[in-house]
Amino acid sequence: MSDPNNRFPVDWHGTTILAIRKGGKVVLAGDGQVSMGDTVMKGTARKVRPLGKGDVIAGFAGATADAMTLFERLEAKLEQYPNQLMRAAVELAKDWRTDRFLRRLEALMIVADKEVTLVLTGNGDVLEPDGGVVGIGSGGNYALAAGKALMDGDLGAEEIARKAMGIAAEICVYTNDNIVVEMLDA
């Protein structure tokens, strides 16, 4: 995908973020690859992190500066609406869709707390996926499929996330096997 003025390549799908909710745990896993076109610029980026007081975890696919701006805005919403991730996410999505500055930000986010996992988009979407598994980014569907296949077995949430991300890294050229995991008790 390119921007309308063709000034620079925009690939906001060039990563893999996966959320797994199972066995009283919620896990977010992200790969470490940062690509610009067909060049790997960095292999150790951290795309998942705790937010606020550590009771929310988040991961992003998209432009890093845009995602950091959105993380900051979400943290402010979480301060305004403590222990209400859904409310904070909806308020952020409203701002993201209507604010002249924010609506130009290109990123997708997965956010989770002990109760809910959400996908946030710049279109104003706040989606709560079914089944305890969600993936975003270029390798998101590969990780999602692998995660869903592993959910019925005996593996815990972290093990499923790591295995599914490993599978995605084998398939997607924009995903590496330098996996960062954040986890919360659900």
Mean pLDDT of 109-135: 94
Tell me: pLDDT of 2 over 60: no
Query: Which pLDDT belongs to residue 63?
Result: 80
Compute how many other C-beta atoms are within 10 angstroms of the C-beta atom of residue 146.
24
What confidence tier does 102 reach under pLDDT thresholds 50, 70, 90? confident
Mean pLDDT of 142-148: 98
pTM exceeds 0.75, yes or no: yes
Strand partners of residue 126:
120
pLDDT, position 104:
77
Domain topology for 16-185? Glutamine Phosphoribosylpyrophosphate, subunit 1, domain 1 (3.60.20)
15 is catalytic: yes
- Looking up tokens 């900051």 gives 72
Q: Indicate the DSSP class of residue 5.
A: T
The predicted pLDDT at position 1 comes to 41
Listed residue (96, 92, 132) closest to 112, CA to CA:
132
Q: Which residue has the higher pLDDT, 6 or 129?
A: 129
Residue located via tokens 């930000």? 105
Q: How far apart are CA 33 and CA 151, in angstroms?
A: 26
d(CA 133, CA 118): 11
Give the pairing of strands 39-42 and 34-36: antiparallel
- Given a cut of 60, is residue 54 above it in pLDDT? yes
CA 135 to chain centre: 7
Structure tokens at 82: 């403590």
Q: Give, rounded to a whole angstrom, the gap between the first and last alpha carbons of the chain.
A: 37
Catalytic residue among 15, 16, 117, 175: 15
Are 169 and 177 within 8 A, CB to CB? yes
pLDDT in tens, 152-163: 999 999 999 999
